[in-house]
Amino acid sequence: MIGEPAQRGARRVDRRLAQRLAVLLLSMTLIAGGIVSVGAFVDVLAPGDAAADTAPLAMLPPVRIPVDNPMSAAKVELGRMLFFDARLSGNASTSCASCHAPQMGWTHHDPLAPGYPGHRLWRNNPTVLNAAHFSRLMWDGTLDRLEVQARSAMQAPVEGNGKAGIVEMRLRLVPEYVDRFHDVFGTEWPRMEDAWLAIAAFERTIVSDPARVPFDRFLAGDARALPEAAKRGYALFNGKARCIVCHGGPLASDEQYHALGVPRQLLFDSSPLVQVAVRWQNAQREAPRVLYRGGGDEDLGRWYRTRDPADIGKFRTPSLRELRYTGPYMHNGVFATLHEVVEFFDRGGGDAPNKSPLLQPLDLDAGEKADLVAFLESLSMDTPLIVETPELPPMRPLVETVAAQCSRDEQ
């Protein structure tokens, strides 16, 4: 965890210690007392204790702006254009917005999005919404900056399949881009590195507006912002359901990696394109075959980053903000609704070799589950965040581009 504030790191260590203590306590109780119900274990932590060493939900702070990519209106506007511009992909078919569609919560409604033509992705693609607030990106925390993610997604064969050299030349034959890059970055010709800076700057504006999020209005003191069901859900979230243990802080995510035993995505067995993608990902990341069951047909999650067998099947805790718009859910998109997600956690999750001990059956009744869903929905804006699709300037013959550039410089 590079560049993380020391205080939070310390808190994490404390929490791990607390988890170990809890497990120890449980085993001691089991030994001493014989049969102990799971409900009794939940009582050990709940209701107050679970939240005690966990960051409470809070309003999002202002987005952190990296020193090497300061914001400006012109840069954000250029980034918006590039975000929607399919010419950044190999065959000019696929823009960032193809898989991160504003009208689909800045992600995609397919459990596994199509990606570049002739492909299908292996994971549910994460939303751009509030991605700017995460310290690491992707389900396995592989990337650390939006700038790097933009580059990675544009070039990955299954996503944008755009080679930087060709895409850069395309941008250079769009006179309006030549002008805009010149204005923002001061360069004679557009450069690919600058395109990624602009896209990242634009993405840093795609964040929840607290004034439009019922729960944030509630936190700000408007008691009527939440319906009663959501208020009851909030109490469950912090108490009996213990969601807060992992889903704390402004993002409602501990930014840690956990194995939940999420059910297998059936497309892994039925879709040839998904099978190609999964095997390719494993080969790319040099996953030794001994580690996966069927020979490269599984997603090893956090393991790709750490190479620690104890991390196989762990994925980053997602933010719970804007869930109303960002389904389907989980790293493989296997759950279509929030009800299914709550049911899954109520069961205590599924089976996995490294499954988190934090997941235990919750014993929620139907009303409590509905309350929890009502609360989760209150973490989303009243209406989805939509950004207008820009009209994109055309490529022009090179002679015209140069002529325009020369006449601009004369002025």
Q: Which two tokens stand for residue 95?
A: 């823009």
Q: In the complex with other proteins, which residue's Cβ is closer, 276 or 387?
A: 276
Find the shortest distance in angstroms from Cβ 82 to other proteins.
16
Q: Rounded CA gap, 32 and 201, in Å? A: 57
Question: 134 to each of 171, 209, 279, 315, how far by Cα in Å?
Answer: 30, 16, 28, 14
Taking the least distance from each CB to other proteins, the nearer of 52 and 406 is 406
- DSSP per-residue string spanning 18-82: HHHHHHHHHHHHHHHHS---HHHHHHHHTTHHHHHTSPPP-PPPPPP--TTS---HHHHHHHHHH
Considering only residues 69 through 88, tell me which ones interact with other proteins, judged by CB under 8 A.
87
Applying the rule CB under 8 A, the residues between 247 and 266 that interact with other proteins are none
The full DSSP string for 229-264 is HHHHHHHHHHTTT-GGGTS-TTTT----EEB--PPP
Nearer to other proteins, 225 or 276 (CB): 276
Q: Would you count residue 163 as binding other proteins (CB under 8 A)? A: yes
Neighbours of 146 (CB within 10 A): 25
Q: Which residue number, 33 or 186, has a Cβ lying nearer to other proteins?
A: 186
Q: At what angle do helices 192-203 and 146-155 cross, to 10 degrees?
A: 120
Q: 158 or 372: whose CB is closer to other proteins?
A: 158
Number of residues that bind other proteins (CB under 8 A): 48
Q: Least distance (Å) from other proteins to the CB of residue 166?
A: 4
Using the rule CB under 8 A, is 166 a contact of other proteins?
A: yes
Applying CB under 8 A, which part among 10-18, 141-149, 165-173, 308-316 lies near other proteins? 165-173
Q: Which is nearer to other proteins, 238 or 401 (CB)?
A: 401
398 scored as a contact of other proteins (CB under 8 A): yes
Q: Alpha-carbon distance 173 to 160, whole Å?
A: 20
The reply to whether 158 sits near other proteins by the rule CB under 8 A is yes
Q: What is the DSSP string of 185-213?
A: H--SS--HHHHHHHHHHHHTT----GGG-
- Closer residue to other proteins (CB): 270 or 383: 270
What is the footprint of other proteins within residues 175-214 (CB under 8 A)?
Answer: 186, 188-189
Least distance to other proteins, CB of residue 258, Å:
26
Exposure of 149 in the CB half-sphere (CA atoms within 13 A): 27
Looking at residue 48, its amino acid is G
Q: Closest Cα to residue 64, out of 146, 2, 128?
A: 146
Q: Quick check: 405 binds other proteins (CB under 8 A)?
A: yes
Cα separation, 269 vs 274, whole angstroms: 8
- Amino acid sitting at position 39: G
388: tokens are: 């207008």
- Applying CB under 8 A, the span of 95-103, 164-172, 200-208, 228-236 interacting with other proteins comes to 164-172
Among 5, 56, 118, 357, binds other proteins (CB under 8 A): 118
Interface mask toward other proteins for 273-312; x: CB under 8 A: x-xx-xxx--xx---------xxxx---------------
Stretch that binds other proteins, among 163-171, 234-242, 247-255, 377-385 (CB under 8 A): 163-171
* Closest CB to other proteins among residues 246, 312: 312
Check: CB of residue 251 under 8 Å from CB of residue 134: yes
Where does this chain bind other proteins (CB under 8 A)? 87, 90-93, 116-119, 157-158, 161-163, 165-166, 169-170, 172-173, 186, 188-189, 269-273, 275-276, 278-280, 283-284, 294-297, 395-399, 402, 405-406, 409
